[in-house]
């Protein structure tokens, strides 16, 4: 027997058994972590060391994830695991890319008074972090993925997104590790507001007809556009709603083709998607920025951005957009087959001036002004909801103004008289001071008050209210503190 090589053989056997033992330990640790999260409703699935999904995950259900888990874990090398984000799991992830992304997000949290240590957090092998938050069940908006829109190197993962979670291991020593092992916290208000604004800027919705209703005995009548699930309101005058909705669906469809693309066709799908979306840029229905942002995010999800780099991906997108602009789409069929925006709305009562709309519910409720720009849509909040009941005048047909009503935070109704002369003051906030004292939530931007002044000046109403400064006979009516009586009513026999 050759005993000279025996130590080497024993070393190799020891190394093999140690390696096998480590793999088993790693499998057990990963298995326990994934199973615990599946019990919480997380839809988990395997991804490769290159962060590419190993299964069709877009339509994966929780039941399928649980039943397939053991077969996934038996693969070698051991895969990493990711969770679906968005409404389906109730998770929204803030993905901080490297130390720069972490610093930028922490600065954003400090600015808004939020403590990020109150939610579940993991570190990534690149030095970044994943902060996981819970969707509010009554949240009216579906948040999609964003790239560096909160801050540079700070992305979010929502509907259509995924996030690799601990204890996944990219390579030896490169782990996703838990930093703050607690339940995902509630999505903070400042993040909710920013994400709502991002969705509003990139996803125009459809106007919804609103009829006059009685609320608490009070007649509420206005031209308004309300939210439906996952949609944002828009001004009826800002363009063909049908056309904008159509092109938005086109962009989403093209982005999905890139997201779902497999290796070998990703670049081709990206070019074709950019070309198809580019057909709607010349008409103004889409902007080049919107197309680039959407397709860049789709390229990141499918792994093309990481493999080919941002410069190559942007070059493909720009090339496709250029081709699309050269052959613009014909959308005349949409205009011919649809009613105008005004005729498609059930307007009861007074119509709001062009460029203004009321959002009746949600966290962004209030009066808004919308302005369409080349690079997108600019929306300005003008304060909480109020209603112009009528124009008023005194008994001599002088001192004209506006009779307005609103509700405070406790649902108590208030009213006020704003004379026309108030809009001549240099300080544009003066006209609304008495309303603010009744808990009407006023805007902070100075330009909002300029837009409010224009709103009142442009507002047309046929309703009239006369203001009396004394009781008794005034012309043909007898004025009492709470009513007036016409002379002919007094002269009528019993």
CATH architecture of 23-198: 2-Layer Sandwich (3.30)
Of 409, 414, 443, whose CA–CA distance to 429 is shortest? 443
Overall pTM surpassing 0.85 (yes/no): no
* Nearest-angstrom CA–CA distance, 481 and 494: 24
User: Over its length of 494 residues, how does the chain's per-residue pLDDT go in tens digits?
Assistant: 455 554 554 454 444 445 444 545 656 666 777 888 878 888 989 888 888 888 888 888 888 888 888 788 776 677 888 999 988 888 999 999 999 999 999 999 998 889 999 999 999 988 999 999 987 665 656 788 888 888 888 999 998 899 998 888 877 667 888 898 888 998 888 888 788 777 777 644 333 323 333 333 333 333 333 323 333 333 333 334 556 667 777 888 888 889 888 888 899 999 999 999 988 887 777 888 888 988 998 999 989 998 888 888 999 999 999 998 888 876 654 543 332 233 222 223 456 788 888 876 666 788 888 887 777 778 889 999 888 888 888 767 777 888 898 888 887 888 888 888 888 877 888 889 889 888 899 888 888 999 999 898 888 888 888 776 667 776 666 666 666 665 554 444 44
Domain residue limits, the chain: 23-198, 203-239+341-381, 242-298+312-335, 387-479
């Amino acid at each position: 027997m050759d005993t000279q090589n025996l130590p080497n053989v024993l070393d190799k056997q020891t190394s093999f058994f140690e390696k096998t033992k480590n793999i088993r330990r790693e499998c057990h640790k990963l298995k326990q972590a994934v199973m615990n999260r599946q019990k919480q409703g997380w839809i988990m699935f395997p991804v490769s060391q290159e962060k590419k999904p190993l299964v069709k995950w877009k339509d994966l259900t929780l039941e399928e994830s649980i039943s397939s888990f053991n077969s996934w874990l038996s693969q070698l090398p051991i895969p990493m695991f990711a969770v679906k984000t968005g409404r389906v799991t109730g998770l929204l992830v803030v993905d901080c890319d490297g130390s720069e992304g972490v610093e930028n997000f922490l600065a954003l949290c400090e600015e808004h008074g939020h403590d990020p240590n109150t939610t579940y957090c993991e570190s990534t092998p690149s030095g970044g972090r994943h902060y996981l938050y819970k969707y509010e069940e009554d949240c009216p908006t579906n948040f999609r993925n964003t790239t560096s829109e909160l801050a540079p190197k700070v992305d979010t993962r929502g509907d259509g997104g995924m996030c690799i979670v601990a204890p996944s291991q990219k390579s030896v020593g490169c782990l996703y590790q838990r930093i703050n092992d607690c339940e995902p916290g509630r999505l903070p208000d400042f993040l909710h507001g920013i994400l709502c604004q991002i969705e509003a800027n990139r996803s125009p919705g459809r106007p919804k007809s609103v009829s006059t209703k009685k609320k608490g005995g009070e007649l509420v009548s206005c031209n308004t556009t309300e939210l439906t699930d996952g949609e944002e309101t828009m001004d009826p005058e800002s363009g063909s709603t049908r056309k904008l909705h159509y092109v938005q669906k086109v962009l989403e469809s093209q982005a999905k083709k890139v997201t779902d693309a497999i290796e070998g066709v990703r670049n081709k799908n990206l070019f074709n998607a950019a070309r198809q979306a580019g057909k709607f840029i010349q008409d103004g229905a889409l902007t080049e920025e919107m197309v680039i942002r959407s397709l860049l995010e789709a390229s990141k999800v499918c792994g093309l951005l990481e493999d080919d780099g941002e410069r190559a991906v942007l070059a493909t997108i720009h090339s496709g957009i250029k081709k699309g602009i050269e052959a613009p789409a014909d959308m005349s069929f949409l205009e011919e087959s649809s009613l105008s925006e005004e005729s498609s709305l059930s307007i009861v009562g007074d119509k709001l001036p062009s460029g203004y709309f009321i959002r009746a519910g949600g966290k962004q409720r209030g009066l808004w002004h919308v302005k369409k720009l080349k690079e997108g849509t600019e929306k300005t909040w003008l304060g909480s909801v109020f209603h112009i009941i009528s124009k008023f005048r005194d008994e001599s047909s002088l001192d004209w103004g506006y009779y307005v009503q609103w509700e405070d935070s406790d649902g108590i109704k208030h009213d006020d008289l704003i004379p026309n002369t108030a809009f001549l003051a240099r300080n544009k906030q003066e006209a609304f001071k008495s309303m603010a004292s009744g808990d009407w939530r006023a805007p902070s931007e100075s330009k909002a008050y300029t837009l409010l002044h224009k709103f009142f000046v442009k507002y047309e109403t046929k309703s009239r209210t006369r203001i009396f400064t004394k009781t008794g006979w005034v012309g043909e009516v007898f004025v009492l503190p709470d009513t007036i009586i016409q002379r002919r009513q007094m002269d009528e026999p019993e």
